[in-house]
Structure 1
Amino acid sequence: MKGSLLSAQVLEPYAEALMSLAQSQNLTERLGEDVTGLLNLLQESPDLEQFLSNPIIKAEDKAAVLQRIVGEQVHHYTMNFLKILVDRRRILFLEGICRQYQALLRKLNQTVLAEVTSTVALNDDQKLSVREKVKAMTSAQQVDLETKIDPDLIGGVIIKVGSQVVDASLRGQIRRIGISLSN
């Protein structure tokens, strides 16, 4: 399946269904926290992701493992949603569905996602500065930061918001100097 087809046929309908339920029960933020927790869990445990996507493992075993791991930590609507994904053999798309839910939640809250790549972890003042710059660029109400570390940048940051990229890294500056010298 192509990425957009997968998104249109699987990820979006499930994420929209979860969002619809969350809105009807006034739980959009609570289920958003659950989704973020699930994404963190999947990132921390590649074994869990492999287990959930393994077609040989029975659905009831997958549901039991999910219940044991996250059952008490997530809202019962989230747990029921996970069971539906297991029953319909869509649990292997959990990460994509969660990311799609986060995108819907950001849109609802007029929030943008800024992907920030830096050479070292940003401190709180630097994160605040990046948020303010992104708010000024996009007129968004809020900014969610997703940070990555890339030691090859030498210094500075690269900020990506949607299709906009602000390259304030030393590597980018050196590249621009090289281009201007070659012309």
Structure 2
Amino acid sequence: MKDSILTAEVLEPYAQALLSLAQSQDLTDRFGEDVGAILASFNDSPDMRDFLASPIVNLDAKRSVLHQVFGEQVHPYMQNFLNLLVDRRRIGFLEGICRQYQTLLRKLKQTVLAEVTSAIDLNDDQKNTIRERVKSMTSANQVDIETRIDPDLIGGVIIKVGSQVIDASLRGQLRRISFRLGSST
């Protein structure tokens, strides 16, 4: 419940405003790349996320760090948007706003997100095969793939698209075999 309120009242309006700006300037793809870079930097550096969310750190320091990290990497409009979030003391919500922007952009482009968990890194051919299978399952125009590594899977993949989960992992197959053997006795 708390997440839905946060999304509706804080994340959604900022993400929608960013998308509106992107559409008016024909920058939806560029902003999508910028948002991806911001999220990647948060994944690489949780300290940066904590720094930006801290109420103790002054606003000038936050603006300075954002400019140093993203200055030339992101579009000037995106840099202005980041400064706006700092000024309005909403920069702590940046990660959520970026994720919400990605969701809105996927809807706009009729793209689905396939969350793929595998035992090892997937090569490009494997990703393309998954992409094509998901396209045929969902009738989407495009498929974005987000990958995670879980060595406990032993082999195979687990693909999650929306609420649908396809477990083609070795661990899942062993679990199903064990369940069948257990229920037949």
TM-score norm. by structure 1 comes to 0.98
Q: Secondary structure at the match of 1:181?
A: helix
Per the TM alignment, residue 46 of structure 1 is displaced from its structure 2 partner at its CA by: 1.3
Q: How does 1:156-175 map to 2 (within 5 A)?
A: 156-175=156-175
Per the TM alignment, residue 118 of structure 1 is displaced from its structure 2 partner at its CA by: 0.5
158-167 or 42-51: bigger deviation = 42-51
Take 1:99 and 1:166, find their aligned partners in 2: how far apart are those partners? 23
Per the TM alignment, residue 42 of structure 1 is displaced from its structure 2 partner at its CA by: 1.0
Take 1:64 and 1:151, find their aligned partners in 2: how far apart are those partners? 39
Q: How does 1:1-183 map to 2 (within 5 A)?
A: 2-183=2-183
Structure 1 runs not aligned, ≥5 long: none
Q: Partner amino acid for 2:16?
A: E
| C-alpha distance after superposition, 1:143-170 (max 9, x if no partner) | 0000001010111100000000000011
Q: Secondary structure at the match of 1:115?
A: strand
Per the TM alignment, residue 181 of structure 1 is displaced from its structure 2 partner at its CA by: 1.6
TM-score norm. by structure 2 comes to 0.97
Aligned residues: 183
Take 1:64 and 1:175, find their aligned partners in 2: how far apart are those partners? 51
Q: Partner amino acid for 2:49?
A: E
Per the TM alignment, residue 180 of structure 1 is displaced from its structure 2 partner at its CA by: 1.4
Q: Secondary structure at the match of 1:72?
A: coil
| C-alpha distance after superposition, 1:55-112 (max 9, x if no partner) | 0111121011111221111111100100111011110111110000011111111110
Per the TM alignment, residue 174 of structure 1 is displaced from its structure 2 partner at its CA by: 0.9
Take 1:181 and 1:69, find their aligned partners in 2: how far apart are those partners? 55
Take 1:32 and 1:113, find their aligned partners in 2: how far apart are those partners? 14
Per the TM alignment, residue 182 of structure 1 is displaced from its structure 2 partner at its CA by: 1.9
Take 2:152 and 2:61, find their aligned partners in 1: how far apart are those partners? 43
| C-alpha distance after superposition, 1:96-147 (max 9, x if no partner) | 1000001111111111000000000001111111001100110001100000
- Of all paired residues, the percent bearing the same amino acid is 68
Take 1:104 and 1:146, find their aligned partners in 2: how far apart are those partners? 16
Take 1:39 and 1:75, find their aligned partners in 2: how far apart are those partners? 15
